Chain A
Amino acid sequence: MSGGVDSSATASLLLDAGHEVIGMTMRLYDASEDERKGRGGTCCSPAEVDLARRVCAQIGIPHYVVDERERFRREVIDPFARDYAAGLTPNPCTRCNQHIKFQPLLQRAAALGAEAMATGHYARNLYGEALLRGVDPRKDQSYFLFSMGREALRQVWFPLGTWNKDDVRAYAEGKGLPNWKAPDSQELCFVPGGNHGDVVQRRAREMGLSTDTLQPGEVVDTDGNVVGDHDGIHRVTVGQRRGFRTRTPERRYVLKVIPQSRQVVVGDVSDTQTSRIEVGELQRLELGASGEVRCTVQVRHKSKPAPATVRWDGDTARVDFDAPIRSASPGQAAVFYGEDDRVLGGGWISRVEDRANGPLETPKKD
């Protein structure tokens, strides 16, 4: 229970259905600077932990807080800092779902004699056999869940998968839950205020990483001409327009980051397009050992799923899009959806074929 309305409503719904319910909240990181200055907290912050405790007291269920700060640092914050410092675009929410949310809590659930674990995610779990999109298209969180693994899928319930967010809020209000109108969290929980650059810089220094790449550098176009400057490669995100300055007024997007020379390559919107990506660390929820499938592929949480052909072998895959798509970035997740909104599998984008990065070689078996 994060302290938000979704997990609070989930607990209450399960109680309504006659289940014996235990609330559990993870402490993931210490109060941030912003929070100490009174600028409010995000998911799993100490203020939100208090809110979860209050909801449990109100609906009359036990509540436990477990400390996963060390694991969260190791599995989420450190890779986040390392990736940005290496010019990649990390996806910490999916990492969190892969390493933090399920296994450590499922283990505790089993230790307490619980038969299942439920979360407030907007996704559907079909009898533990298949992961489907949530029915509320604005809230669907299946993109972040592809990495949870088959084992966890068998033991986790998503009661809100068939709910619309508005109905969840109305239900929570009816139950008198104190957080029924709390705003949806949009930013990364450990980066309140949205300035991830400072977090990366601080953590990289603490980790003893080389901070050479975090110095200001040049912004170049695809021909190598210097067109502007930036404050550090960790402050830019591929596909975005923030974190750098150019001398010309055209809209420029980050195409690529070259950590060795601290150069950020920018181009116009057409340059951000790609028709082919390579995916690693493949999670084959519904896929066999190797093969080829026609499906739709989503490369960001909010991006439109695009029709594509996926060819995979073991834990790597290549995705050929029917038409070019925008803003696929190394480090982001690519999730494959089949019929009926089923998640077939997904993985982490390792390489992108576009103007800045050049072509991917043709795969051996084609």
Chain B
Amino acid sequence: MRYPPAAVINLDHNATTPLHPRVRAAMIEVLERTDLGNPSSTHGLGRACREVVEGARRRVAAAVDAPALGVTFTSGGTEADNLALLGGAEALRKAGKAYGVATSRIEHPAIVAAAEALEARGVPVVWIPVEPDGHVTPDAVADVLRTHDEVGLVSVAAANHELGNVQPIAAIVEAVRAVRDGVLVHTDAVQALGKVPVRFGAWGVDLLSVSSHKVYGPTGIGALIHPTHLTLAPRSFGGAQERGRRVGTENWMAAHGFGVACSLLDESLQQLEALTPLRDRLAEHVRAAGGRVHGAPALANTLNFAFEGAPGELMCMSLDLEGIAASTGSACSAGSLEPSKVLLGLGQTPEQASEAVRISMGRSTTEADVARLIDVLPIIVSRVRKAHAQGSSAS
């Protein structure tokens, strides 16, 4: 075998997506322009660049059913999540309102770690219980709010990054409003965008995070969506960019790419639907081979599964050597042996949670790619199981 293999089968699109050719072309076009300055400048160069940024803002807003001025660009999903929690809780506190945070243990680390950081500073944090299949029910959220007057901000992801299950965000918002007014509801829609319709307005949330490189746009840009006039305490200080919510010179070239990627979302939604039978075929194969499927998959592109006695780390290395890119879960926790926090959050044992393998398909995934995975899987599973069993008995 030659390494790297001639063609890698990318089954890790939830980690990042390759640039869409039309995004790349659009970015090259603005990169080659010589009439663009600092978007904050009053001169012509500044105005021209400002229009690039505002054009991108309009495209992102249109893609998520939000007002254009409700789009605050950030460096990505993590910063958007951090700004929502830290900036939201701080703004509530300053307004003299309840500022505690309620979220779940299966959220992305950008949420869980931000909540823990708030907790360390004395902000009350309540962990919402999660169903064994990975769902957060509107009733569970309402219960938390009824029993915790101190909660002023709720955060539940629209689609889970590891499991791919979709949460009933509109129903959760309704349940929150039924308990009391004035609670900020945030949803991390980073994994949902481009895979299911994301509707800021229709869902009724106050805050919503999205990221460019999960939707075939460039890395280094994301956005926090909010009502036009929402007050957020800033996390960085300096100029007045992004209406003071996120200061620093705008990353206009990436913003432009993100905007174009957002204008292509309808196309990727359609392409993704075609992946459902492939996902189901893989799930069927995993079950038939004695594996287990985690969560109740809803995103057409994502399948999280495990084979007992086969650590996910070794499965993913073995797949890599076969030229197949897969993940043990969130790439943010890769390189460490820590079992999936999402699966631990669902009540799995540490051993079970370290067996997870996440497959996430994308617009270029073919039937042949999945067939290849299904071909090599049994060989890899049996080799990894055998080696792992011997290692366990020896130590």
Contacts and interface: CB of A to CB of B under 8 A. Distances in A.
Interface of A: 20, 22, 27, 60-62, 64-70, 103-104, 106-113, 151
A199 to B, nearest CB: 22
A337 B320 CA distance: 43
Nearest to B5: A62
A342 B395 CA distance: 27
B147 interface: no
Nearest to A65: B335
A62 B387 contact: no
B318 A110 contact: no
Contacts of A60: 3-4
B314 interface: yes
Contact of B321 (A22, A27, A104): A22
Contacts of B338: 67
B394 A108 contact: no
Nearest to A113: B383
Question: Chain A's interface: helix, strand, loop or mixed, by majority?
Answer: mixed
Interface in B319-344: 320-321, 335-338
B391 interface: yes
Nearest to B379: A113
B318 A64 contact: no
A62 B320 CA distance: 9
B390 interface: yes
B20 interface: no
A109 B314 CA distance: 9
Contact of A66 (B4, B318, B337): B337
Contacts of B337: 66-70
Contacts of A104: 391, 395
29 contacts: A20-B3, A27-B335, A60-B3, A61-B3, A62-B4, A64-B317, A65-B335, A66-B313, A67-B335, A69-B337, A70-B337, A103-B391, A103-B394, A107-B390, A107-B391, A107-B394, A110-B383, A110-B386, A110-B387, A110-B390, A111-B318, A111-B388, A112-B314, A112-B317, A112-B321, A112-B383, A113-B318, A113-B321, A113-B383
A64 B1 CA distance: 17
Interface string B369-395: 000000000000001101110110011
A121 to B, nearest CB: 21
Interface residues of B, number: 22
Contact of A20 (B1, B317, B390): B1
A107 B336 CA distance: 17
A165 to B, nearest CB: 29
A67 B321 contact: no
B395 A103 contact: yes
Contacts of A62: 3-4, 317, 320-321
Interface in B264-315: 313-314
Contacts of A66: 313, 337
A350 to B, nearest CB: 24
B391 A67 contact: no
Give the 5 A-B CB pairs with smallest separation, nearest first: A107-B391, A110-B387, A111-B387, A67-B337, A111-B314
A86 B96 CA distance: 57
Question: Chain B's interface: helix, strand, loop or mixed, by majority?
Answer: helix
Contacts of B383: 110-113
Contacts of B390: 107, 110
Contacts of B394: 103, 107, 151
A161 to B, nearest CB: 25
A290 to B, nearest CB: 25
Contacts of B386: 110
Nearest to A67: B337
B1 A108 contact: no
Contacts of B384: 111
A27 B320 CA distance: 20
Contacts of B395: 103-104
Given A27-B336, A65-B335, A112-B317, 9 more contacts: A66-B313, A67-B337, A67-B338, A104-B391, A107-B388, A110-B383, A111-B384, A113-B318, A113-B321
A20 B391 CA distance: 23
A67 B336 contact: yes
A218 B38 CA distance: 70
Max chain B C-beta neighbours (<10 A), residue from A20, A61, A111? A111
Nearest to A61: B3
A106 B394 CA distance: 11
A108 to B, nearest CB: 6
A103 B391 CA distance: 7
A97 to B, nearest CB: 14
Contacts of A68: 337
Nearest to A69: B337
A151 B321 CA distance: 26
Contacts of A22: 321
A113 B322 CA distance: 11
Interface in B18-57: none
A106 to B, nearest CB: 8
Contacts of B391: 103-104, 106-107, 110
Contacts of B3: 20, 60-62
A110 B384 CA distance: 8
A112 B335 contact: no
B150 to A, nearest CB: 34
Given A67-B336, A103-B394, A103-B395, A112 B388 contact: no
A20 B335 CA distance: 23
A151 B387 CA distance: 14
Contacts of B313: 66
A107 B321 contact: no
Contacts of A151: 394
Interface string B90-126: 0000000000000000000000000000000000000
Max chain B C-beta neighbours (<10 A), residue from A67, A104, A108? A108
B244 to A, nearest CB: 34
Nearest to B318: A112
A287 to B, nearest CB: 22
Contacts of A110: 383, 386-387, 390-391
Interface in B143-193: none
B148 to A, nearest CB: 34
A62 B3 CA distance: 7
Contacts of B336: 27, 67
Nearest to B320: A62
B317 A107 contact: no
A112 B3 CA distance: 14
A105 B37 CA distance: 54
A64 B334 CA distance: 11
A109 B384 CA distance: 10
